[in-house]
Structure 1
Amino acid sequence: ESFGNNPPNRCYFCKNELYSVLSRVASQEEMAAIVDGSNADDVGDHRPGMQAARELGVRSPLMEVGMTKEDIRTLSQSFGLPTWDKPAQACLSSRFPYGDRITPEKIAQVEKAESGLRELGFRQLRVRHHGDVARIEVPKSDISRLVDDVTAQKVIARMKEAGFTYVTIDLEGFRSGSMNEVLKTGRGSDLLILS
Protein backbone atom coordinates (compact mmCIF):
# COMPACT_ATOMS: atom_id res chain seq x y z
CA GLU A 1 0.00 0.00 0.00
CA SER A 2 2.80 2.45 0.86
CA PHE A 3 4.42 1.81 -2.52
CA GLY A 4 1.14 2.32 -4.42
CA ASN A 5 0.67 5.75 -2.83
CA ASN A 6 3.87 6.72 -4.67
CA PRO A 7 5.73 8.77 -2.05
CA PRO A 8 9.26 10.01 -2.86
CA ASN A 9 10.62 7.06 -0.84
CA ARG A 10 8.48 4.43 -2.64
CA CYS A 11 11.63 2.54 -3.71
CA TYR A 12 12.41 1.95 -0.05
CA PHE A 13 9.17 0.00 0.41
CA CYS A 14 9.68 -2.03 -2.76
CA LYS A 15 13.32 -2.89 -2.04
CA ASN A 16 12.57 -3.61 1.61
CA GLU A 17 9.98 -6.19 0.56
CA LEU A 18 12.22 -7.63 -2.17
CA TYR A 19 15.31 -7.92 0.03
CA SER A 20 13.29 -9.32 2.95
CA VAL A 21 12.06 -12.15 0.72
CA LEU A 22 15.55 -12.69 -0.72
CA SER A 23 17.01 -12.76 2.80
CA ARG A 24 14.68 -15.61 3.74
CA VAL A 25 15.57 -17.51 0.56
CA ALA A 26 19.30 -16.89 1.08
CA SER A 27 19.04 -18.19 4.63
CA GLN A 28 17.14 -21.31 3.54
CA GLU A 29 19.63 -21.98 0.74
CA GLU A 30 22.63 -21.19 2.99
CA MET A 31 23.86 -18.42 0.71
CA ALA A 32 26.57 -16.15 2.06
CA ALA A 33 25.29 -12.85 0.69
CA ILE A 34 22.73 -11.00 -1.37
CA VAL A 35 24.22 -8.58 -3.91
CA ASP A 36 22.75 -5.90 -6.15
CA GLY A 37 23.98 -4.03 -9.22
CA SER A 38 24.35 -0.56 -7.70
CA ASN A 39 27.47 1.21 -8.94
CA ALA A 40 29.55 4.29 -8.14
CA ASP A 41 27.34 6.52 -10.32
CA ASP A 42 24.41 5.80 -7.98
CA VAL A 43 26.09 7.52 -5.03
CA GLY A 44 24.52 10.88 -4.27
CA ASP A 45 21.46 10.29 -6.45
CA HIS A 46 17.98 10.02 -4.85
CA ARG A 47 18.00 6.25 -4.17
CA PRO A 48 15.79 5.37 -1.17
CA GLY A 49 16.06 1.69 -2.09
CA MET A 50 19.72 1.80 -1.07
CA GLN A 51 18.63 2.45 2.52
CA ALA A 52 16.65 -0.81 2.50
CA ALA A 53 19.69 -2.59 1.06
CA ARG A 54 21.90 -1.28 3.87
CA GLU A 55 19.35 -2.17 6.55
CA LEU A 56 19.11 -5.75 5.28
CA GLY A 57 22.83 -6.27 4.66
CA VAL A 58 22.69 -6.37 0.85
CA ARG A 59 26.12 -5.90 -0.70
CA SER A 60 26.88 -3.69 -3.70
CA PRO A 61 30.20 -5.06 -5.01
CA LEU A 62 30.35 -2.81 -8.09
CA MET A 63 29.91 0.26 -5.91
CA GLU A 64 32.34 -1.09 -3.30
CA VAL A 65 35.14 -1.28 -5.89
CA GLY A 66 34.22 2.10 -7.40
CA MET A 67 32.99 0.87 -10.79
CA THR A 68 30.92 3.36 -12.81
CA LYS A 69 28.31 2.59 -15.48
CA GLU A 70 30.92 3.32 -18.14
CA ASP A 71 33.39 0.90 -16.47
CA ILE A 72 30.71 -1.79 -16.44
CA ARG A 73 29.89 -1.22 -20.12
CA THR A 74 33.58 -1.39 -21.09
CA LEU A 75 34.13 -4.59 -19.12
CA SER A 76 30.92 -6.13 -20.49
CA GLN A 77 32.00 -5.33 -24.04
CA SER A 78 35.42 -6.90 -23.45
CA PHE A 79 33.65 -10.11 -22.34
CA GLY A 80 31.50 -10.03 -25.48
CA LEU A 81 28.22 -9.62 -23.62
CA PRO A 82 25.43 -8.58 -26.01
CA THR A 83 23.94 -6.19 -23.44
CA TRP A 84 27.07 -4.05 -23.04
CA ASP A 85 25.45 -0.99 -24.67
CA LYS A 86 21.87 -1.56 -23.52
CA PRO A 87 20.33 1.71 -22.29
CA ALA A 88 19.54 1.92 -18.59
CA GLN A 89 15.98 0.91 -17.79
CA ALA A 90 14.69 2.36 -14.54
CA CYS A 91 11.65 0.86 -12.85
CA LEU A 92 8.43 1.89 -14.58
CA SER A 93 7.15 3.37 -11.31
CA SER A 94 9.67 6.19 -11.87
CA ARG A 95 7.47 7.50 -14.70
CA PHE A 96 4.82 8.90 -12.33
CA PRO A 97 4.79 12.19 -10.40
CA TYR A 98 5.17 11.62 -6.67
CA GLY A 99 1.80 11.38 -4.96
CA ASP A 100 0.00 10.01 -8.05
CA ARG A 101 -1.30 6.55 -7.21
CA ILE A 102 0.46 3.74 -9.10
CA THR A 103 -1.77 0.96 -10.42
CA PRO A 104 -1.08 -2.10 -12.58
CA GLU A 105 -3.19 -0.48 -15.33
CA LYS A 106 -1.09 2.70 -15.35
CA ILE A 107 2.15 0.67 -15.37
CA ALA A 108 0.82 -1.32 -18.37
CA GLN A 109 -0.08 1.94 -20.11
CA VAL A 110 3.48 3.29 -19.76
CA GLU A 111 4.97 -0.06 -20.77
CA LYS A 112 2.85 -0.14 -23.95
CA ALA A 113 3.72 3.48 -24.80
CA GLU A 114 7.47 2.90 -24.34
CA SER A 115 7.33 -0.32 -26.37
CA GLY A 116 5.66 1.65 -29.16
CA LEU A 117 8.53 4.15 -29.20
CA ARG A 118 11.11 1.35 -29.24
CA GLU A 119 9.31 -0.21 -32.22
CA LEU A 120 9.90 3.12 -34.00
CA GLY A 121 13.65 2.85 -33.35
CA PHE A 122 14.09 5.03 -30.27
CA ARG A 123 16.48 3.44 -27.77
CA GLN A 124 16.87 5.83 -24.86
CA LEU A 125 13.50 7.13 -23.75
CA ARG A 126 10.96 7.64 -21.01
CA VAL A 127 7.21 8.16 -21.22
CA ARG A 128 6.18 10.12 -18.13
CA HIS A 129 2.58 9.54 -17.04
CA HIS A 130 0.66 12.72 -16.21
CA GLY A 131 -2.91 11.42 -16.17
CA ASP A 132 -4.18 11.63 -19.74
CA VAL A 133 -0.93 13.30 -20.89
CA ALA A 134 2.12 11.34 -22.10
CA ARG A 135 5.29 13.42 -21.68
CA ILE A 136 7.94 11.87 -23.92
CA GLU A 137 11.63 12.23 -23.12
CA VAL A 138 14.24 11.26 -25.71
CA PRO A 139 17.81 12.57 -26.06
CA LYS A 140 17.85 16.07 -27.57
CA SER A 141 19.55 14.63 -30.64
CA ASP A 142 16.42 12.48 -31.27
CA ILE A 143 13.81 15.23 -30.87
CA SER A 144 13.98 16.31 -34.52
CA ARG A 145 13.36 12.71 -35.61
CA LEU A 146 10.50 12.43 -33.11
CA VAL A 147 8.71 15.50 -34.53
CA ASP A 148 9.25 14.61 -38.20
CA ASP A 149 5.73 14.62 -39.73
CA VAL A 150 5.62 10.91 -40.59
CA THR A 151 7.21 9.76 -37.32
CA ALA A 152 5.13 12.16 -35.23
CA GLN A 153 1.90 10.66 -36.57
CA LYS A 154 3.15 7.17 -35.68
CA VAL A 155 4.17 8.35 -32.20
CA ILE A 156 0.77 9.95 -31.62
CA ALA A 157 -0.95 6.74 -32.74
CA ARG A 158 1.20 4.62 -30.39
CA MET A 159 0.51 6.91 -27.41
CA LYS A 160 -3.24 6.93 -28.08
CA GLU A 161 -3.21 3.13 -28.45
CA ALA A 162 -1.62 3.04 -25.01
CA GLY A 163 -4.52 5.09 -23.64
CA PHE A 164 -3.19 8.64 -23.53
CA THR A 165 -5.35 11.52 -24.80
CA TYR A 166 -2.57 14.10 -25.20
CA VAL A 167 1.03 13.67 -26.35
CA THR A 168 3.82 16.08 -25.41
CA ILE A 169 7.57 16.15 -25.92
CA ASP A 170 9.87 17.35 -23.16
CA LEU A 171 12.11 19.92 -24.86
CA GLU A 172 14.78 19.45 -22.18
CA GLY A 173 15.27 15.95 -23.55
CA PHE A 174 15.90 12.67 -21.79
CA ARG A 175 16.99 13.08 -18.17
CA SER A 176 17.40 10.14 -15.87
CA GLY A 177 15.54 10.96 -12.68
CA SER A 178 13.64 13.95 -14.09
CA MET A 179 10.72 13.20 -11.77
CA ASN A 180 13.08 13.93 -8.85
CA GLU A 181 13.48 17.56 -9.96
CA VAL A 182 10.46 18.48 -7.82
CA LEU A 183 12.35 17.21 -4.75
CA LYS A 184 15.27 19.55 -5.45
CA THR A 185 12.96 22.57 -5.48
CA GLY A 186 11.39 21.59 -2.15
CA ARG A 187 7.93 21.40 -3.72
CA GLY A 188 7.75 17.66 -3.10
CA SER A 189 8.49 17.81 0.63
CA ASP A 190 4.82 17.50 1.53
CA LEU A 191 4.54 14.20 -0.36
CA LEU A 192 6.57 12.01 2.00
CA ILE A 193 4.38 9.15 3.20
CA LEU A 194 5.91 6.97 5.88
CA SER A 195 3.46 4.11 6.10
Structure 2
Amino acid sequence: MSELLARLMARLSQEDKLLIAFSGGADSALLASAAHRALGDRAVAVTAVSASLPASERVAARTFAREQNIPHVEVCTDELDNPDYVANTGNRCFHCKTALFDALIPLATMMGARMALGTNLDDLGDHRPGQSAAVARGAIFPMVDAELTKFDVRSISRELGLATADKPAAACLSSRIAYGDNVTPELLARIERAEESLRQFGFREFRVRAHADGTLARVEIVDTELTSAFERRGDILTALRSAGFVFGSLDLGGLRSGGMNALLSLTPVSR
Protein backbone atom coordinates (compact mmCIF):
# COMPACT_ATOMS: atom_id res chain seq x y z
CA MET A 1 0.00 0.00 0.00
CA SER A 2 1.37 3.39 -1.00
CA GLU A 3 1.78 6.15 1.58
CA LEU A 4 -1.00 8.14 -0.10
CA LEU A 5 -3.48 5.28 0.06
CA ALA A 6 -2.43 4.48 3.62
CA ARG A 7 -3.22 8.05 4.67
CA LEU A 8 -6.67 7.86 3.10
CA MET A 9 -7.42 4.47 4.61
CA ALA A 10 -6.28 5.63 8.04
CA ARG A 11 -8.62 8.62 7.84
CA LEU A 12 -11.59 6.54 6.71
CA SER A 13 -10.96 3.93 9.40
CA GLN A 14 -11.71 6.61 12.01
CA GLU A 15 -15.36 6.57 10.94
CA ASP A 16 -18.03 4.12 12.04
CA LYS A 17 -20.43 4.46 9.09
CA LEU A 18 -20.35 6.65 6.00
CA LEU A 19 -22.65 7.79 3.24
CA ILE A 20 -20.57 8.80 0.24
CA ALA A 21 -21.99 11.28 -2.27
CA PHE A 22 -21.15 9.27 -5.38
CA SER A 23 -21.40 10.78 -8.86
CA GLY A 24 -19.25 8.15 -10.55
CA GLY A 25 -16.36 10.53 -11.23
CA ALA A 26 -12.75 9.82 -10.30
CA ASP A 27 -12.89 11.56 -6.92
CA SER A 28 -16.10 10.06 -5.57
CA ALA A 29 -15.26 6.66 -7.06
CA LEU A 30 -11.98 6.51 -5.17
CA LEU A 31 -13.65 7.64 -1.97
CA ALA A 32 -16.40 5.04 -2.32
CA SER A 33 -13.92 2.26 -3.11
CA ALA A 34 -11.52 3.16 -0.29
CA ALA A 35 -14.38 3.56 2.20
CA HIS A 36 -15.68 0.13 1.23
CA ARG A 37 -12.22 -1.34 1.80
CA ALA A 38 -11.97 0.37 5.18
CA LEU A 39 -15.52 -0.09 6.46
CA GLY A 40 -17.10 -2.84 4.37
CA ASP A 41 -20.89 -2.58 4.14
CA ARG A 42 -20.85 0.24 6.69
CA ALA A 43 -19.96 2.49 3.76
CA VAL A 44 -22.77 3.16 1.29
CA ALA A 45 -22.45 5.08 -1.97
CA VAL A 46 -25.40 7.35 -2.81
CA THR A 47 -26.04 8.83 -6.25
CA ALA A 48 -28.30 11.87 -6.61
CA VAL A 49 -30.59 11.52 -9.62
CA SER A 50 -32.10 14.53 -11.37
CA ALA A 51 -32.24 16.09 -14.82
CA SER A 52 -28.72 17.48 -14.28
CA LEU A 53 -27.19 13.98 -14.16
CA PRO A 54 -26.47 12.57 -17.64
CA ALA A 55 -27.98 9.14 -18.20
CA SER A 56 -24.55 7.82 -19.21
CA GLU A 57 -23.09 8.91 -15.86
CA ARG A 58 -25.91 7.25 -13.95
CA VAL A 59 -25.23 3.98 -15.77
CA ALA A 60 -21.48 4.33 -15.17
CA ALA A 61 -22.02 4.89 -11.44
CA ARG A 62 -24.22 1.81 -11.19
CA THR A 63 -21.71 -0.28 -13.10
CA PHE A 64 -18.75 0.84 -10.97
CA ALA A 65 -20.55 0.14 -7.70
CA ARG A 66 -21.67 -3.28 -8.89
CA GLU A 67 -18.19 -4.26 -10.09
CA GLN A 68 -16.63 -3.09 -6.81
CA ASN A 69 -19.36 -4.74 -4.69
CA ILE A 70 -20.06 -1.39 -3.04
CA PRO A 71 -23.53 -0.95 -1.50
CA HIS A 72 -25.19 1.64 -3.70
CA VAL A 73 -28.49 3.49 -3.62
CA GLU A 74 -29.99 6.29 -5.70
CA VAL A 75 -32.00 9.19 -4.34
CA CYS A 76 -34.06 11.67 -6.34
CA THR A 77 -33.29 15.32 -5.64
CA ASP A 78 -35.59 18.26 -6.28
CA GLU A 79 -33.23 21.17 -6.92
CA LEU A 80 -35.13 22.06 -10.10
CA ASP A 81 -38.16 22.86 -7.94
CA ASN A 82 -36.15 25.58 -6.20
CA PRO A 83 -36.47 29.01 -7.91
CA ASP A 84 -33.06 30.02 -6.54
CA TYR A 85 -31.45 27.05 -8.28
CA VAL A 86 -33.34 27.65 -11.53
CA ALA A 87 -32.26 31.32 -11.51
CA ASN A 88 -28.67 30.05 -11.90
CA THR A 89 -26.77 32.75 -10.06
CA GLY A 90 -23.19 32.23 -8.95
CA ASN A 91 -24.55 30.39 -5.90
CA ARG A 92 -26.38 27.66 -7.85
CA CYS A 93 -24.17 24.85 -6.50
CA PHE A 94 -25.08 25.82 -2.94
CA HIS A 95 -28.73 25.08 -3.66
CA CYS A 96 -27.82 21.85 -5.46
CA LYS A 97 -25.80 20.53 -2.53
CA THR A 98 -28.52 21.64 -0.12
CA ALA A 99 -31.04 19.53 -2.05
CA LEU A 100 -28.60 16.61 -2.00
CA PHE A 101 -28.13 16.74 1.76
CA ASP A 102 -31.83 17.19 2.36
CA ALA A 103 -32.25 13.86 0.56
CA LEU A 104 -29.34 12.20 2.38
CA ILE A 105 -29.99 13.29 5.96
CA PRO A 106 -32.92 10.91 6.60
CA LEU A 107 -30.83 7.97 5.38
CA ALA A 108 -27.80 9.13 7.34
CA THR A 109 -29.91 9.48 10.48
CA MET A 110 -31.38 6.01 10.03
CA MET A 111 -27.91 4.49 9.56
CA GLY A 112 -26.18 6.62 12.17
CA ALA A 113 -23.71 7.58 9.47
CA ARG A 114 -21.80 10.69 8.54
CA MET A 115 -21.93 12.12 5.02
CA ALA A 116 -18.71 12.35 2.99
CA LEU A 117 -17.74 14.15 -0.23
CA GLY A 118 -14.90 13.41 -2.62
CA THR A 119 -13.44 16.91 -2.41
CA ASN A 120 -9.64 17.07 -2.75
CA LEU A 121 -7.13 19.81 -1.99
CA ASP A 122 -7.19 21.21 -5.53
CA ASP A 123 -10.94 21.78 -5.25
CA LEU A 124 -10.51 24.20 -2.37
CA GLY A 125 -9.12 26.94 -4.57
CA ASP A 126 -11.99 26.88 -7.09
CA HIS A 127 -15.39 28.57 -6.99
CA ARG A 128 -17.42 25.85 -5.28
CA PRO A 129 -20.26 27.29 -3.20
CA GLY A 130 -21.60 23.77 -2.70
CA GLN A 131 -18.81 23.17 -0.20
CA SER A 132 -20.30 25.68 2.22
CA ALA A 133 -23.61 23.82 2.05
CA ALA A 134 -21.76 20.58 2.79
CA VAL A 135 -20.00 22.08 5.80
CA ALA A 136 -23.27 23.52 7.12
CA ARG A 137 -24.86 20.07 6.99
CA GLY A 138 -21.95 18.41 8.79
CA ALA A 139 -20.42 16.60 5.83
CA ILE A 140 -16.76 15.59 5.93
CA PHE A 141 -13.97 15.67 3.33
CA PRO A 142 -11.73 12.65 3.99
CA MET A 143 -9.44 13.27 1.01
CA VAL A 144 -8.79 16.84 2.14
CA ASP A 145 -8.03 15.52 5.62
CA ALA A 146 -5.59 13.05 4.03
CA GLU A 147 -4.04 15.95 2.04
CA LEU A 148 -4.69 14.41 -1.37
CA THR A 149 -4.56 16.40 -4.62
CA LYS A 150 -6.29 15.56 -7.90
CA PHE A 151 -3.02 14.01 -9.10
CA ASP A 152 -2.92 11.86 -5.96
CA VAL A 153 -6.51 10.73 -6.53
CA ARG A 154 -5.67 9.44 -9.98
CA SER A 155 -2.41 7.85 -8.78
CA ILE A 156 -4.18 5.94 -6.01
CA SER A 157 -6.98 4.96 -8.40
CA ARG A 158 -4.41 3.41 -10.74
CA GLU A 159 -2.81 1.61 -7.79
CA LEU A 160 -6.21 0.09 -6.99
CA GLY A 161 -6.94 -0.69 -10.64
CA LEU A 162 -10.06 1.47 -10.71
CA ALA A 163 -11.66 2.03 -14.10
CA THR A 164 -12.11 5.70 -13.20
CA ALA A 165 -8.38 6.41 -12.81
CA ASP A 166 -8.16 8.26 -16.12
CA LYS A 167 -11.81 9.17 -16.51
CA PRO A 168 -12.27 12.77 -17.68
CA ALA A 169 -13.94 15.11 -15.22
CA ALA A 170 -17.71 15.27 -15.75
CA ALA A 171 -19.45 18.06 -13.86
CA CYS A 172 -23.24 18.20 -13.71
CA LEU A 173 -25.11 19.38 -16.80
CA SER A 174 -26.26 22.56 -15.05
CA SER A 175 -22.65 23.75 -14.96
CA ARG A 176 -22.84 24.05 -18.76
CA ILE A 177 -25.44 26.85 -18.61
CA ALA A 178 -24.24 30.47 -18.49
CA TYR A 179 -24.87 32.16 -15.14
CA GLY A 180 -28.04 34.21 -15.28
CA ASP A 181 -29.78 31.93 -17.81
CA ASN A 182 -32.44 29.72 -16.24
CA VAL A 183 -31.75 26.04 -15.67
CA THR A 184 -34.60 24.04 -17.21
CA PRO A 185 -35.09 20.31 -17.83
CA GLU A 186 -35.51 21.07 -21.53
CA LEU A 187 -32.16 22.87 -21.83
CA LEU A 188 -30.38 20.21 -19.77
CA ALA A 189 -31.75 17.53 -22.10
CA ARG A 190 -30.56 19.48 -25.15
CA ILE A 191 -27.04 19.80 -23.71
CA GLU A 192 -26.99 16.09 -22.89
CA ARG A 193 -28.12 15.24 -26.42
CA ALA A 194 -25.44 17.46 -27.97
CA GLU A 195 -22.68 16.01 -25.79
CA GLU A 196 -23.77 12.47 -26.57
CA SER A 197 -23.43 13.27 -30.29
CA LEU A 198 -19.87 14.52 -29.79
CA ARG A 199 -19.08 11.40 -27.80
CA GLN A 200 -20.34 9.27 -30.68
CA PHE A 201 -18.03 11.23 -33.00
CA GLY A 202 -15.15 9.87 -30.92
CA PHE A 203 -14.30 12.96 -28.85
CA ARG A 204 -13.40 12.21 -25.25
CA GLU A 205 -12.86 15.43 -23.28
CA PHE A 206 -15.20 18.33 -23.96
CA ARG A 207 -18.10 20.46 -22.72
CA VAL A 208 -21.07 21.93 -24.57
CA ARG A 209 -21.67 25.30 -22.90
CA ALA A 210 -25.05 26.99 -23.46
CA HIS A 211 -25.33 30.77 -23.77
CA ALA A 212 -27.98 33.34 -24.69
CA ASP A 213 -30.86 31.35 -23.14
CA GLY A 214 -29.90 28.22 -25.05
CA THR A 215 -29.51 29.87 -28.45
CA LEU A 216 -25.72 29.47 -28.69
CA ALA A 217 -23.70 26.32 -27.97
CA ARG A 218 -20.01 26.93 -27.28
CA VAL A 219 -17.94 23.75 -27.45
CA GLU A 220 -14.86 23.55 -25.24
CA ILE A 221 -12.69 20.63 -26.27
CA VAL A 222 -9.29 19.49 -25.03
CA ASP A 223 -6.34 20.87 -27.03
CA THR A 224 -5.30 17.47 -28.39
CA GLU A 225 -8.73 17.05 -30.02
CA LEU A 226 -9.24 20.62 -31.17
CA THR A 227 -7.78 20.09 -34.67
CA SER A 228 -10.01 17.07 -35.23
CA ALA A 229 -13.00 19.05 -33.99
CA PHE A 230 -12.29 21.85 -36.46
CA GLU A 231 -12.06 19.30 -39.28
CA ARG A 232 -15.46 17.95 -38.27
CA ARG A 233 -17.02 21.34 -37.58
CA GLY A 234 -19.81 20.67 -40.07
CA ASP A 235 -20.84 17.47 -38.30
CA ILE A 236 -20.61 19.19 -34.93
CA LEU A 237 -22.75 22.12 -36.07
CA THR A 238 -25.37 19.72 -37.44
CA ALA A 239 -25.43 17.88 -34.11
CA LEU A 240 -25.77 21.12 -32.16
CA ARG A 241 -28.64 22.30 -34.34
CA SER A 242 -30.32 18.91 -34.05
CA ALA A 243 -30.16 19.40 -30.28
CA GLY A 244 -32.01 22.69 -30.63
CA PHE A 245 -29.22 25.28 -30.73
CA VAL A 246 -29.31 28.00 -33.38
CA PHE A 247 -25.60 28.86 -33.36
CA GLY A 248 -22.53 26.75 -32.64
CA SER A 249 -18.92 27.69 -31.95
CA LEU A 250 -15.60 26.03 -31.10
CA ASP A 251 -13.78 27.75 -28.24
CA LEU A 252 -10.15 28.43 -29.24
CA GLY A 253 -9.18 28.40 -25.57
CA GLY A 254 -9.85 24.68 -25.33
CA LEU A 255 -11.37 22.81 -22.38
CA ARG A 256 -11.25 24.56 -19.02
CA SER A 257 -12.61 23.21 -15.77
CA GLY A 258 -15.20 25.63 -14.42
CA GLY A 259 -15.17 27.50 -17.71
CA MET A 260 -18.34 29.42 -16.90
CA ASN A 261 -16.79 30.94 -13.75
CA ALA A 262 -15.13 33.59 -15.91
CA LEU A 263 -18.58 35.18 -16.23
CA LEU A 264 -18.87 35.82 -12.50
CA SER A 265 -16.58 38.85 -12.61
CA LEU A 266 -17.86 40.15 -15.94
CA THR A 267 -21.65 40.23 -15.89
CA PRO A 268 -24.49 40.43 -13.38
CA VAL A 269 -25.76 36.97 -12.47
CA SER A 270 -29.17 37.97 -11.13
CA ARG A 271 -32.22 39.46 -12.76
Shorter-chain TM-score above 0.5: yes
Identity %: 41
User: How far apart in 2 are the matches of 1:192 and 1:62?
Assistant: 34
- Count of matched residue positions in the alignment of Structure 1 and Structure 2: 187
Which residue of the partner structure matches residue 266 of structure 2? 187
Please give the per-residue CA displacement for 1:41-93, whole angstroms capped at 9, x wherever unaligned: 10111000000000011011011111111111111111111111000001111
Query: What is the letter of the counterpart of residue 191 of structure 1?
Result: V
Which residue of the partner structure matches residue 63 of structure 1? 144
| 2:135 paired residue among 42, 51, 54 | 54
On the 8 A contact 2:210/2:218 being kept in 1, the answer is yes
Which structure has the higher relative contact order (CA within 8 Å, separation 6+)? 1
User: How far apart in 1 are the matches of 2:125 and 2:159?
Assistant: 28
On the 8 A contact 1:36/1:59 being kept in 2, the answer is yes
Q: CA deviation at 1:29?
A: 2.1
User: How far apart in 2 are the matches of 1:187 and 1:152?
Assistant: 29
Alignment of structure 1 residues 1-195 onto 2, 5 Å: 1-31=83-113, 33-130=114-211, 131-148=214-231, 151-183=232-264, 186-188=265-267, 190-191=268-269
User: How far apart in 1 are the matches of 2:145 and 2:126?
Assistant: 16
On the 8 A contact 1:9/1:192 being kept in 2, the answer is no
Please give the per-residue CA displacement for 1:16-61, whole angstroms capped at 9, x wherever unaligned: 1211221221002222x10011111101110000000000110110
User: How far apart in 1 are the matches of 2:270 and 2:129?
Assistant: 12
Q: CA deviation at 1:192?
A: 5.2
User: How far apart in 1 are the matches of 2:88 and 2:161?
Assistant: 38
Query: What is the letter of the counterpart of residue 73 of structure 1?
Result: R
User: How far apart in 2 are the matches of 1:127 and 1:2?
Assistant: 23
On the 8 A contact 1:41/1:69 being kept in 2, the answer is yes
On the 8 A contact 2:87/2:270 being kept in 1, the answer is no
SS in structure 1 at match of 2:180: coil
More strand by share: 2
Q: CA deviation at 1:94?
A: 0.8
Taking structure 1 as the reference length, the TM-score comes to 0.91
Deviates further, 53-62 or 13-22: 13-22
SS in structure 2 at match of 1:106: helix
Deviates further, 16-25 or 117-126: 16-25
On the 8 A contact 2:240/2:248 being kept in 1, the answer is yes
User: How far apart in 2 are the matches of 1:37 and 1:121?
Assistant: 29
Q: CA deviation at 1:8?
A: 0.4
Query: What is the letter of the counterpart of residue 106 of structure 1?
Result: L
SS in structure 2 at match of 1:52: helix
On the 8 A contact 1:110/1:127 being kept in 2, the answer is yes
Q: CA deviation at 1:103?
A: 0.2
Query: What is the letter of the counterpart of residue 85 of structure 2?
Result: F
Q: CA deviation at 1:152?
A: 2.1
SS in structure 1 at match of 2:116: coil
User: How far apart in 1 are the matches of 2:101 and 2:177?
Assistant: 23
Consecutive aligned runs of 4 or more in structure 1 exceeding 6 Å deviation: none
